[in-house]
Amino acid sequence: MIEVGFILFLFYSNLLMGEFERSGLAQKKDLLWALSDIFTLSNFAIGTVAAVIGYIVVEFLRAKF
């Protein structure tokens, strides 16, 4: 669970940083808008699936090597 949570943390951190880049709308809006834009059900589903896949791959490689 810790590994999956860490992968989710990295996913959401990456999304938040993307909101504050030059092309992101968060520069014109504020932090609360950016947080509400990235914490959606679809982003959570994508992040969770990616985190579980990443965990499975890392555990497979850990067992193999």
Joined together, the tokens standing for residue 30 give 């504020």
CA separation, residue 54 to residues 1, 51, 59 (Å): 12, 5, 9
For the chain, 65 residues long, the average pLDDT of each consecutive 10-residue run is: 94 94 85 94 97 95 92
Its pTM stands at 0.83
Q: How far apart are CA 38 and CA 17, in angstroms?
A: 10
Per-residue model confidence (pLDDT) at position 65: 85
CA of 11: how far to CAs of 7, 17, 63, 65, in Å? 6, 10, 25, 26
